[in-house]
Chains A and B, each alone.
Chain A
Amino acid sequence: MAEYEAVIGLEVHVQLKTNTKMFCSCKNEFGGAPNSHVCPVCLGMPGVLPTPNEEAIIKTILTGEMLECQIAPRCKFDRKNYFYPDMPKNYQISQYDEPLCANGAVTLNLLAFPKDVQNDPKVNFDKKIRLERIHLEEDVAKSFHYDGASGIDFNRAGTPLMEIVSKADIATPEEAFAYLTALKQILIYGGVSDADMEKGQMRCDVNVSIRPKGQKEYGTKVEIKNLNSISAVRKSLHYEILRQTADVEAGVPIIQQTRRWDDGRGETFMMRTKEKAHDYRYFPDPDLLPLNTEEGLHQTAKSRLPELPAAKKSRLVADYAVTEYQASVLASEVALANYFEKAAANAKNKSAVANFLLNDYFATGGDIENIPVNPEFFSELSNLVEEGKINTKQAKEVFPKMVAENKAPSVLVKELGLSQITDTAALEALCDQAIAANPRSVADFKAGKTNAVNALKGQVMKLSKGQANPQVVGDILLKKLSA
């Protein structure tokens, strides 16, 4: 049996986060009663004219800048002609031969891959997926079909939509998963879109073909639609590659077609074959004058360039002395990194803050968008431990209350009566008590079993009701036993 490899390219549509629609001043807002965010312009009434939303152009250029694209010197719009009930004008204002951004790339990273392959040594986690283009267009309305009738909600019609087209550089379903995850991360970083696939803010069409390993020519490509999550993209690709391989092995030729992913059944189904390419009769939209981007728009976009995930990760390691892994996780979400930087601002041990945030906080089931805690409390808590005022175990007792009540750790320590005993005289008395009560442990220690000190330490902690400073106790015990 020949070995096959897949060739995958993705077309991603991204809804831009702007206040208003692409060519009119209606609100660009998800939800709302059907046809409540509409006006003559986005309904395509006779005589209306489009006026371009500069914020959408800036956000598209910003995306291009974040993804290392070349930015076009002018922003030119074209009309793409086809009849469809969710297209008010029966042409879509889009960009044809002059996309705002060309070329560029998305660089993958370990954490962008599915968890189950993050330890796979065969995976190239730092692969670059090249981009073909990014262009700006208007979104269409939404159709609803009822028994014997259809309804159209034009709230979405005319909202700004960015199309990001990758080159066919993607070789596995896992790379497709990582590409979308990394892309989404960057879009959120730039404040360009919330890029939530479930909400349709990011929509993905997949093109996939297979060919015998080593062959230069591409196989016949199949398009998959109806992919509502990043993991659905991965699953559908696994299914489709197996299906195509089985067909080729059985001598059944692949025909160019569009297939629909059924997430419930975990299979793709044929929607239609592509008889011939649709002729969209693109031509420059005479209602919109080409806009020079070189000065104002491009400069504004550049001034908004955020620190990107890779740079942020390096800086976190350098400035906060967190581990590489902690930095990767923190940098994977801009909100998380921002919160961490506030939380760690006054901490003596910043890595300890990262641990509280990444382990203890997420263990409570909370998320970063809605974290209810004053970030300064993280510094305060870790400093209490650092200064020996409470021990780690006590800190773990304080933590859930700090999260649940958004109360200062110092206040909680008092409320819970958790102050640590650091008074050496008092601790010496407790140590003497433990030594006297546990001759066996003392004998073990003297016989060379240094671990025996831990048993004694446990006794002292018990006697202090957990309030002794374990480090101080250890020091006293060692001193006394070695005397």
Chain B
Amino acid sequence: MSSPLYTESVASLRRKLAAKEITAVDVADQLLARIEQADGKLNAYNFKPDAAKVRAAAQAADLSKPLGGVPIAIKDVINVQGDPCTCSSKILQGYTAPYDATVIKKLREAGAVLVGRTNMDEFAMGSSTENSSWGVTRNPWDTDRIPGGSSGGSAAVVGGHEAFAALGSDTGGSIRQPAALCGCVGLKPTYGRVSRYGLVAFASSLDQIGPFTKTVEDAALLMEVISGHDPKDNTSVNRPVPKYTDALKQDLRGMKLGVPKEYFISGIDPEVEAATKAAIEHFAKQGAEIVDISLPHTEYACAVYYIIAPAEASANLARFEGVRYGNRVKNPKDILDLYRSTREQGFGPEVKRRIILGTYVLSSGYYDAYYNRAQKVRQLIKRDFEQAFTKCDAILTPTSPTAAFKVGEKTSDPLQMYLADIFTIAVNLAGVCGISIPCGFTKSKLPIGLQIIGAQWGEENVLRAAHGYEQTTEWHKELPGI
């Protein structure tokens, strides 16, 4: 028996659509049925696709376009005109986006069919999607477990085959970590590669939008569509977009891959460590050269991140106070009460924690000791990567120190939760790119992810290494029980 259509990759879907073996409406119908069947268990969509709208969009899709007729799910932090965009926060309940994010425009122009908003940690703050106002999303490989975060919904819909691909956002690992935990591919592009216009900002100097896909080839396809300079984003860089799929044509022979000693530390789960080391050996067998490298400031990444990200967030989230949009308390005493009560009721505890933290580190008298110092260490972390990439084309590390943990396991200890991102955070601080791909399973059949880090604008190397590994392994072909 052949596997169901909804398990297909974007590339194979495109081939079948081109060969007229199927129609875009068939694809939409089968996916809608799959969502009906699976999302009750996963709770991955905050807003499930409207069947009539999706069918109409599929009907109208221009199949000659690069993503013609391909349904793609969007994290609930990216503005899609006319749709809600809640960031999984009560404070944005009732808000309707008045404009399309630049990536959404690009997806529409490429013929994609948009299918619903995926769940996330509130305002992308978290590593488990438990900080959502709309309930936790479940891991498709074990519904007692979390899908990772903050883009847990996007990871779960792709890993759980409720979408062919999805967009997420990554500030400290929010694409790569959930991709690892849900057994799919997740790519965090170089800072400035993809426009942030329309992405509700968490930490502006760290945020990037990127794809969740079932294969590395699909990630390359999506990157070709969503990348590029945007005059509306001052931090997007005017640099030609390579044909990323061409990078997949080369195999692993002659690639120099670095392994940083600082990423194999105590606290890393033995099964994760074993799978990562096996993957490194596999690369060597396929003809890549493995080199030992050092990223000496790795241990400071987490501390630096939890100063810079909350500082930026404290200002970015100041606009949510109920005056112009979203939720507003009834009958406030005065304007101050309106602000206080709306924010008190609208934000969850993790968001409040980070706003307070960010406000504190920016306060006069503390600015130099925290924010300024963190910026200096950030430069050192960036330099670590620049030096490392003089010795190798890409860097191999585990994506997450553990596989998916149980729902509720870490919610009482924020510091434990923050450590879920220790391997991914430095990539954002340095502004470089990284991907997570499946590289094995634990004994209890939970996916394990391998992170491949590239230099600034090093997406082609990252995709080539990831694709070379994927094509010579079988992990990505496994299907979850859901």
Residues of A within 8 A of B (CB): 40, 43-52, 79, 81, 83, 85, 88-91, 152, 279, 281-283, 286-289
Contact = CB atoms under 8 A, between A and B. Distances in A.
A52 B234 contact: yes
B101 A47 contact: yes
B197 A48 contact: yes
Contacts of A85: 323, 335
Interface majority SS on A: helix, strand, loop or mixed? loop
B234 A50 contact: yes
Contacts of B335: 85
A298 B401 CA distance: 51
Interface string B317-328: 011110111000
Nearest to B196: A49
A289 B229 CA distance: 14
Interface string B255-298: 00000000000000000000000000000000000000000000
A46 B363 contact: no
A90 B320 CA distance: 9
A45 B339 contact: no
The 9 closest A-B pairs by CB, nearest first: A90-B318, A286-B205, A281-B362, A286-B204, A46-B200, A47-B200, A47-B198, A44-B319, A47-B79
A287 to B, nearest CB: 5
A283 B367 contact: yes
A49 B233 contact: yes
A90 B97 CA distance: 20
21 contacts: A44-B324, A45-B324, A46-B325, A49-B234, A49-B235, A51-B234, A52-B234, A79-B315, A83-B318, A83-B339, A88-B319, A89-B318, A91-B318, A281-B362, A281-B364, A283-B315, A283-B371, A286-B204, A286-B235, A287-B235, A288-B234
Contacts of A43: 324
A283 B360 CA distance: 13
A90 B234 contact: no
A46 B324 contact: no
B318 A47 contact: no
Contact of B98 (A40, A88, A282, A288): A40
Nearest to B99: A40
Given A90-B319, A283-B367, A286-B312, A45 B234 contact: no
Nearest to B362: A281
A46 B79 contact: yes
A44 B201 CA distance: 12
Given A50-B234, A286-B205, 18 more contacts: A44-B319, A44-B324, A45-B99, A45-B325, A46-B95, A46-B320, A47-B85, A47-B101, A47-B197, A47-B199, A83-B339, A89-B318, A90-B319, A281-B362, A283-B315, A283-B367, A286-B235, A287-B204
Contacts of B182: none
Nearest to A44: B319
A299 to B, nearest CB: 21
Contacts of B363: 279, 281
Contact of A49 (B232, B315, B320, B359): B232
B99 A49 contact: no
Interface string B367-409: 1000100000000000000000000000000000000000000
Contacts of A83: 318, 321, 339
A43 B343 CA distance: 19
Contacts of B204: 286-287
Interface residues of B, number: 44
Given A46-B85, A48-B197, A281 B359 contact: yes
Contacts of A152: 323
A289 B204 CA distance: 12
B205 to A, nearest CB: 4
A62 B321 CA distance: 38
B315 A289 contact: no
A287 B234 contact: yes
A81 B319 contact: no
Interface of B: 77-79, 85, 87, 92, 95, 97-99, 101, 196-201, 203-205, 231-235, 311-312, 314-315, 318-321, 323-325, 335, 339, 359, 362-364, 367, 371
B248 to A, nearest CB: 32
Please indicate which of the listed interface residues B99, B199, B319, B339 has the most CB atoms of chain A within 10 Å of its own CB.
Answer: B319
Contacts of A288: 234
Contacts of B367: 281, 283
Contacts of A51: 231-234
Contacts of B312: 286
Most interface-central of A45, A46, A49 (chain B CB within 10 A): A46
Which of A47, A51, A289 has the most C-beta atoms of chain B within 10 angstroms of its own C-beta?
A47
Nearest to B360: A281
B352 to A, nearest CB: 16
Contacts of A286: 203-205, 235, 312
A286 B87 CA distance: 21
Contacts of A81: 314-315, 318, 362
Contacts of A90: 318-319, 321
Contacts of B201: 47, 287
B209 to A, nearest CB: 11
Nearest to B197: A49
B456 to A, nearest CB: 15
Contacts of B314: 81, 281
Contacts of B98: 40, 45
Nearest to A77: B234
B403 to A, nearest CB: 33
Given A47-B79, A52-B234, A279 B364 contact: yes
Given A52-B234, A281-B363, A283-B311, A46 B318 contact: no
B6 to A, nearest CB: 30
A438 B96 CA distance: 98
A288 B232 CA distance: 11
Nearest to B320: A46
Contacts of A89: 315, 318-319
Contacts of A287: 201, 204, 234-235
Contacts of B203: 286
A480 B231 CA distance: 87
Nearest to B123: A46
B321 to A, nearest CB: 7
A47 B92 CA distance: 12
B303 to A, nearest CB: 18
A88 B199 CA distance: 17
A46 B197 contact: no
Among A90, A152, A282, A286, find the residue whose CB has the most chain B CB atoms closer than 10 A. A286
A81 B316 CA distance: 10
A290 to B, nearest CB: 10
A343 to B, nearest CB: 46
A466 to B, nearest CB: 71
Nearest to A52: B234
Nearest to A279: B364
A44 B321 CA distance: 12
A50 B315 CA distance: 14
